[in-house]
């Protein structure tokens, strides 16, 4: 992120695959991140740990405005214009350390905590990007539904994640391309 910053990048667009926790979500939905829960961060692991690099940003950065409001609104309208507005959601992404998928009890806890989707990436990048003043937009492809039921015979697996990625690749490509075409290049932060 800091190399991008030094290269003059002002806006970061990030994508990930995530497990759906919100029962209204379906495999193949696309969730625009409006906020996150940084589980490793709450546990004391954070990419901004260590001496602060003052030339990049503040020691104690704010995260309540991590995901740019204008870009979120633009993505929703672009998705609607492209004809897949019904797939689009806005929600809270929770990051865990991985590489294992979550247990049933963990999924239930995360849902109670307010997470709509669970994954293993993106938040670290967002924290460093925001620390140095870059505008952030991120979306999650709901590649699988988290297992919440002890009677379920389903198992989270990476093959399903990859398969859903292939299924939605073209739509996500057009969404991101159109977003890039239309977004203002100036940094509003
Ligand atoms: O897009 P990311 O890397 O967050 O994708 C998720 C997390 C793991 O890399 C993988 C697990 O299936 O998908």
If DSSP codes are grouped into helix, strand and coil, which group holds residue 87?
helix
pLDDT tens string 137-170: 999 999 999 999 999 999 999 999 999 999 999 9
pTM of the entire predicted model: 0.96
Domains located in the chain, CATH noted: 10-185 (3.40.50.1580)
Torsion (CA) 165, 170, 171, 177 in degrees, nearest 10: 120
Residue nearest (by alpha carbon) to ligand 1 atom 2: 16
Within 6 Å (CB) of ligand 1, which residues are found? 16-17, 119-121, 158, 161
Task: Convert the pLDDT of each residue in 80-100 to its tens digit.
Answer: 999 999 999 999 999 999 999
- The span from the CA of 158 to the CA of 143, in Å, is 9
The protein residue with its alpha carbon nearest to ligand 1, atom 9, reads 120
Mean of the per-residue pLDDT values for the chain? Answer: 96
**Ligand 1 binding pocket mutation candidate from 30, 36, 119 (most atoms within 8 A of CB):** 119
How far is the CA of 40 from the CAs of 44, 49, 111, 124, 179, in angstroms? 6, 12, 17, 9, 30
Output the pLDDT for position 31: 98
> Rounded CA gap, 1 and 9, in Å?
9
Beta bridge partners of 7: none
């Amino acid at each position: 992120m800091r190399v991008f910053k030094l290269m003059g990048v002002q806006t970061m667009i990030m994508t990930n695959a995530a497990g759906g926790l919100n029962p209204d979500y379906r495999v193949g939905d696309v969730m625009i991140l409006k906020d996150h829960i940084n589980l490793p961060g709450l546990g004391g692991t954070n990419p901004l740990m260590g001496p602060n690099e003052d030339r990049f940003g503040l020691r104690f950065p704010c995260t309540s405005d991590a995901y740019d409001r204008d870009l979120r609104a633009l993505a929703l309208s672009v998705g609607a214009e492209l004809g897949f507005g019904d797939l689009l959601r806005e929600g809270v992404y929770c990051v865990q350390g991985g590489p294992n998928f979550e247990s049933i009890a963990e999924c239930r806890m995360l849902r109670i905590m307010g997470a709509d989707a669970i994954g293993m990436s993106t938040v670290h990048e967002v924290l460093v990007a925001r620390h140095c003043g870059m505008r952030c937009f991120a979306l999650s492809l709901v590649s699988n539904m988290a297992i919440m039921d002890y009677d379920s015979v389903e198992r989270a697996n990476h093959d399903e994640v990859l398969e859903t990625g292939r299924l939605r690749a073209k739509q996500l490509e057009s969404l991101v391309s159109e977003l890039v075409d239309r977004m203002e290049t100036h940094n509003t932060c």
